Amino acid sequence: MLIQCGALPLTLAILYLMASFRLPTDYLTLAVVQGLLAALITWKLALAAWWRAIQLLFPLALLTTLALQLPSWLFGAGFLLLLGWYWSTFRTQVPYYPSGPAVWDAVRQLLPADKPPRVVDIGSGLGGFTLYMARVRPDAEAIGIELAPLPWLYSWLRARLTGSRARFMRGDYENLDFRQFDLVFAYLSPAAMPGLWRKASAEMAAGSMLVSYEFVIEERTPDSIIRATAGENPLYIWYF
C-alpha cells in the first residue's frame, strides 16, 4: 500500500503531461500507469518477484471491483474474514499452509512408545496434526495452539463434532511453556525459527524433542533429519 501511495504523485504527474499532449487520460490509463510505476518501485526495492505482479495488477483489480458496484457491506465482511484468517501474520510472518498425513505419521513414529506422550502443534492451523495424534495415540495428550481466530475456531469445532480428545487453545505459542511437552511440532516459516530456537533451548525438558517440518533452525544443526516420503520436505529434529 505504501508503494502504491508512493507511486501515485508520479502517476498524476505523468497523466498531467499526457493530458497536455492531448493523449487519453481515462481511468484505465490511470490504473495501467499506476500499476507499472508501483511494479517499477517494487523492482527497485528488490522485493520478491511476486510483489511486482501484485503491484502491477492491484490498480486494475481496484478498477474492476468498482465497476462491479458491489454492496459496501461485502467489503466489511471480506475484511473481517481475512482478519480472522490471517490475524497477525504481518507480525509473525507465518501464514497458514497445511502439512499432511504422511508427515503426521512420520512424527507419530518419533513418539515414545513406553509412556503417554504430550504433544503440541505450535500454530495448529485447521487442526489436522493434533486431531491425527489424538486418534492414532489414544494415550497421548494432544494439544494445538493457534493465533488466528478462524482456523482455531474451525479446529475447535472439528474436535467437538468428532468427539476427539484433541485440545485446541487460542493464543500465541510464545506464551506457552514448552517444559510440559515431550514433542513440540512446528510448521512455521524461516522468519520464526531464530525466536523458536531461543524459546525451545530455554524451556524444553531433557528427553523431549523439537520437530520442525520444512524449516531448519540455522543456529543449531539438527540432530536428525528424516523425510516422510522420498519427495517430501525434511522433518528436522532436535533432541534435548
Ligand X SMILES: C[S@@+](CC[C@H](N)C(=O)[O-])C[C@H]1O[C@@H](n2cnc3c(N)ncnc32)[C@H](O)[C@@H]1O
Nearer Cβ to ligand X (52/135): 135
**Residue 174 sits in the site that holds ligand X (CB under 6 A):** yes
Nearer Cβ to ligand X (42/155): 155
- Strands, E assignment, the chain: 118-122, 141-146, 167-170, 183-186, 209-213, 224-227, 234-239
Bridge-partner residues for 225, per DSSP? 236
**Residue 182 sits in the site that holds ligand X (CB under 6 A):** no
Find the binder of ligand X among 92, 155, 164, 212 (CB under 6 A). Answer: 92
Decide: 147 and 123 in contact? Cβ < 8 Å: yes
Cell numbers found for residue 134: 489424538
**Residue 94 sits in the site that holds ligand X (CB under 6 A):** yes
Find the binder of ligand X among 35, 59, 117, 151 (CB under 6 A). Answer: 151
CA dist list (Å): 158 to 5, 98, 100, 138, 193? 42, 16, 17, 17, 29
- SS3 state of residue 196: helix
Cell numbers found for residue 76: 466489511
Binding range to ligand X, per CB under 6 A, among 20-28, 41-49, 68-76, 139-147: 139-147
**Residue 240 sits in the site that holds ligand X (CB under 6 A):** no
Q: What angle do CA 27, 33, 34 make, to 5 degrees?
A: 85
**Residue 154 sits in the site that holds ligand X (CB under 6 A):** no
Least CB distance from residue 229 to ligand X, whole Å?
Answer: 16
Least CB distance from residue 34 to ligand X, whole Å?
Answer: 32
Q: Please report, as residue ranges, which positions from 14 to 43 form the binding site for ligand X (by CB under 6 A).
A: none
Bridge-partner residues for 237, per DSSP? 211, 224
Find the binder of ligand X among 51, 96, 154, 240 (CB under 6 A). Answer: 96
Residue reference for cell 509473525: 92
**Residue 156 sits in the site that holds ligand X (CB under 6 A):** no
Interface ranges with ligand X (CB under 6 A): 92, 94, 96-99, 121, 123-125, 128-129, 145-148, 151, 172-174, 187-188
